[in-house]
Structures are given as structure tokens and as C-alpha cells.
């Protein structure tokens, strides 16, 4: 695989790799480093990838594994798992504040979810992956994906309802 072929194969989903890394590592710098590391690994394996059908799935799996390893490492003791990418300029300030507050609560709740639920929720609801793609990326059965997603959504919904019903939670 030549450089141009490699760039054409990898660049379309480079941002997805970054968003997944950012979701897992929270730090912009860590996510950029992780994305760069994965791209370098992909470059070093470019000749082996010639026959590979789904380079994107392979790259997403590499990113997920790299970030999880990073989180487990001693260097990453202070990293957290969070998510925040919500904004809507057309709404009123009050609505924006309420939406930001809800997004922050969803972030906090997601931090408490089991790793598998967190990953399935990220890939399905944030990255908009199809179930069969998540199945390949996480090596999970379709039923397990649906159950994990359902449980994650239910937990978030229940905790948000509890928070809004009882004040600060």
C-alpha cells in the first residue's frame, strides 16, 4: 500500500479515532497522542492491511485497545473517562444551561457505567455505529450488545429522573 492509498484509506475516519480516544482518555492531548500512535501503527502495518476488508473497524479496535491499555498503565493513573460535546447556539441561555447541566450529569453517570456498557453506548449513540459494526469492534454477540446498550440507557435514564425528581441526586 502506497502513501496515497494509505491516506485515502485512513483519513476519512481519522476523526472517529480521535473522538473514541477522547471519549476514553478525556484529555485532548492524550487523545491526540493516542490517535497519532494508532495512525503510526497503521502506517507500519500498511503492507499487511492490503487484503484487509475493513480498515476502519481494525483502526477503531486498535484505538480502543490502545486507550484501554493507556488507562490501565501507571502513567494514566489520573485520567478519567468522560464525555462532553453538546451545544446548541439557537436555544435560549436558560435552555443551554439546562442542557449543559444534563450533559454533565450524563457524563458523570457514564463514568460509573461498567466498561462494556460505556463502550457500547459510545459507539452506538455517539459515533452512530451500526450493531454489526459494534459486534466486530468489540467481539460481542448482537444480543449482548443490545442488552449492554439497554442497561446503560436505563441506568442513565433512571439516574437523570432521580436527579430531576430529588434535586442534586
Cell output for 112: 460509573
**Interval 3-28 mean pLDDT:** 81
The closest of 45, 55, 53 to 12, measured between CA atoms, is: 55
pTM of the model: 0.51
Specify whether the CB–CB gap between 137 and 123 falls below 8 A. yes
What are the pLDDT digits (tens) for 96-136? Answer: 676 677 777 777 888 888 988 988 988 888 778 889 889 98
List, in order of start, the domains of the chain with CATH numbers. Answer: 3-76 (1.10.1740.10), 93-166 (1.10.10.10)
- 151 against 23, higher pLDDT: 151
Distance CA 161, CA 158 (A): 5
Please say whether the dihedral angle defined by the alpha carbons of residues 116, 58, 136 and 13, taken in this order, is positive or negative: positive
Percent of the chain topping pLDDT 90: 10
Helix axis angle, 28-44 relative to 14-25, nearest 10°? 130
Amino acid at each position: 500500500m502506497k502513501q496515497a492509498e494509505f491516506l485515502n484509506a485512513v483519513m476519512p475516519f481519522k476523526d472517529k479515532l480521535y473522538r473514541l480516544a477522547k471519549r476514553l482518555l478525556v484529555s485532548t492531548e492524550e487523545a491526540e497522542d493516542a490517535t497519532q500512535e494508532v495512525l503510526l501503527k497503521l502506517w507500519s502495518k500498511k503492507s499487511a492491511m492490503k487484503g484487509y476488508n475493513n480498515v476502519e473497524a481494525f483502526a477503531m479496535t486498535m484505538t480502543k485497545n490502545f486507550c484501554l491499555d493507556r488507562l490501565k498503565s501507571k502513567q494514566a493513573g489520573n485520567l478519567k473517562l468522560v464525555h462532553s460535546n453538546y451545544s446548541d447556539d439557537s436555544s435560549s441561555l436558560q435552555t443551554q444551561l439546562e442542557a449543559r447541566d444534563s450533559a454533565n450529569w450524563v457524563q458523570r453517570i457514564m463514568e460509573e457505567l461498567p466498561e462494556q456498557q460505556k463502550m457500547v453506548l459510545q459507539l452506538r449513540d455517539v459515533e452512530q455505529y451500526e450493531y454489526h459494526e459494534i459486534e466486530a469492534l468489540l467481539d460481542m454477540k448482537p444480543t449482548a450488545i443490545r442488552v449492554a446498550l439497554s442497561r446503560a440507557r436505563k441506568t442513565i435514564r433512571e439516574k437523570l429522573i432521580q436527579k430531576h425528581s430529588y434535586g442534586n441526586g
